[in-house]
Amino acid sequence: MTAASETAQAAVARDPGHAGNAVGGIVVQREQGQRQVFCGLAGIVWLHRKIQDAFFLVVGSRTCAHLLQSAAGVMIFAEPRFATAVLGDRDLAGLADCNEELDRVVTELLARRPDIGTLFLVASCPSEVIKLDLDNAAARLSREQQGRVRVLAYSGSGLDTTFTQGEDTCLTALVPELPEAPADTDSLLVLGTLPDVVEDQFRRLFDALGIPSLYFLPPRRASELPPVGPGTRLLAAQPFVGGTAAALVDRGATLLEAPYPFGIEGTRAWFEAAADAFGIGVARVEAVTAAAATRAARGLERYRAQLAGKRISFLPDSQLEIPLARFLQRECGMELVEVGVPYLDRRMLGAELDWLPSDLRLTEGQDVERQLDRLRADRPDLTVCGLGLANPLEAEGLTTKWSIELVFSPVHGFDQAADLAELFVRPLNRRERLAF
């Protein structure tokens, strides 16, 4: 640890605003103050690509429309499956007008787009939208569609959700729609959006292991929702779907405790947890995953050489910070200076915390100015942060990585382990090139 980071560590420890409590031997410092993270609307960017027969209608303001366009602009190469219903001032004069306007927008949309099977109404922040009961509106519109289109509502508002939490609220809205699995059927349900290419790789490995029945939530089509029941073993692929996991547990599923499939070690342990739930031993997992793990180790080698010994800080943003920090430290040899998370879901992250060093500076929540002060004192080699902070930090000579890229890119599993490491090598190389 350098003198600068010792100073910042001491500042966290001394600060009376930081109530600390320990999880898995690590003292978690809580921060409350101004936050700088995306709202949950950002989830639409990857959800609309995954669920191909769904449409996302944000009921919001021009700010929401702008955020979606700029966050998603680079991602669109097909007809977009999202839009923003900006309710004008006239509509906001009374709730009755508001509901009428919403009904009009939805009716027009569904008439124009007969391919929509599931329509999500996504709530946002403006106070007029908060007053609207979107759950009721969704039920009313669903009835009007007489089963032709399923209309559901969830919140992507910056008041209730951070960046990746919008996926959790969306999937939670789907849970009551899932069919009941027959009581005597055992199945594995993988929870959290995965790019199709990763889903296919995982499916091949689970098949080779002999898992009897495998489903993914979200599925590629909302018309093909997976069944859930007491025989369902739930394996999370993303750490930010805790609300959905709880809703599935309420429907009888059993949540498996496992780290996340990032890097070789995490991916192997993830498969082991699934296999164990079906009475399949470690030797079988080893045999099935050996070739992929060997390929991954070869691919990782050269990136490890570039990352080892480098110091990294995570600002709270994507909720992937803890598993990524674990991968970078244990498999790439990086030194963790500070790991910040928007919120710490202990049930979803228990297995990951066991793998982190007990003296880790782990912060939950955000007080952005204080965090930036610590960052300036630490001056890590690499800072993972949101888009809004990256440019100013680069201007101060810090090297940054946009956390949003880590959510958009295929980074799970053995075959993506080297690509994941490379995402952290790239900004370091760029900074080096700029230095000459």
39 binds ligand SF4 (CB under 6 A): yes
Q: Which is nearer to ligand SF4, 38 or 270 (CB)?
A: 38
Q: Which is nearer to ligand SF4, 123 or 382 (CB)?
A: 123
State in angstroms the smallest separation of the CB of 238 from ligand SF4: 20
**Over the Cα atoms of the chain, what is R_g?**
22
Tokens of 436: 């000459």
Q: Where are the beta strands (DSSP E) in 24-80?
A: 26-32, 54-60
Count of residues near ligand SF4 by CB under 6 A: 12
Q: Which is nearer to ligand SF4, 240 or 327 (CB)?
A: 240
Q: Where are the beta strands (DSSP E) in 237-350?
A: 254-255, 311-314, 335-341
Q: Which is nearer to ligand SF4, 2 or 63 (CB)?
A: 63
Return the residue of 8, 64, 98, 407 that touches ligand SF4, per CB under 6 A: 64
State in angstroms the smallest separation of the CB of 72 from ligand SF4: 12
Among the listed ranges 12-20, 150-158, 204-212, 323-331, the one in contact with ligand SF4 (CB under 6 A) is 150-158
Q: CB-based contacts of 360: which residues, under 8 Å, 6+ apart? A: 26, 325, 336, 339
- Side-chain half-sphere of 413: how many Cα atoms within 13 Å? 20
Q: Which is nearer to ligand SF4, 41 or 353 (CB)?
A: 41
292 binds ligand SF4 (CB under 6 A): no
Looking at residues 155 to 184 of the shown chain, list those that interact with ligand SF4 (rule: CB under 6 A).
156-158
Angle between helices 196-209 and 282-307 (to 10 degrees): 140
Among the listed ranges 14-22, 55-63, 240-248, 324-332, the one in contact with ligand SF4 (CB under 6 A) is 55-63
266 binds ligand SF4 (CB under 6 A): no
Closest CA to 96 of 141, 137, 64: 137
- Three-state DSSP class for 105? helix
Looking at residues 75 to 134 of the shown chain, list those that interact with ligand SF4 (rule: CB under 6 A).
124-125
Amino acid letter at 74? V
State in angstroms the smallest separation of the CB of 133 from ligand SF4: 17
386 binds ligand SF4 (CB under 6 A): no
Phi, psi torsion values for 259, nearest 5 degrees = -70, 180
| Exposed/middle/buried for residue 96 (C-beta within 10 Å: 0-12, 13-18, 19+) | exposed
41 binds ligand SF4 (CB under 6 A): yes
Q: Which is nearer to ligand SF4, 45 or 375 (CB)?
A: 45
Residues, the chain, total? 436
Among the listed ranges 62-70, 194-202, 232-240, 315-323, the one in contact with ligand SF4 (CB under 6 A) is 62-70
Q: Rounded CA gap, 277 and 308, in Å?
A: 35
Q: Rounded CA gap, 285 and 290, in Å?
A: 8
Q: By Cβ distance, which residue is nearest to ligand SF4?
A: 158
Q: What is the contact surface with ligand SF4 in residues (CB under 6 A)?
A: 39, 41, 60-61, 63-64, 67, 124-125, 156-158
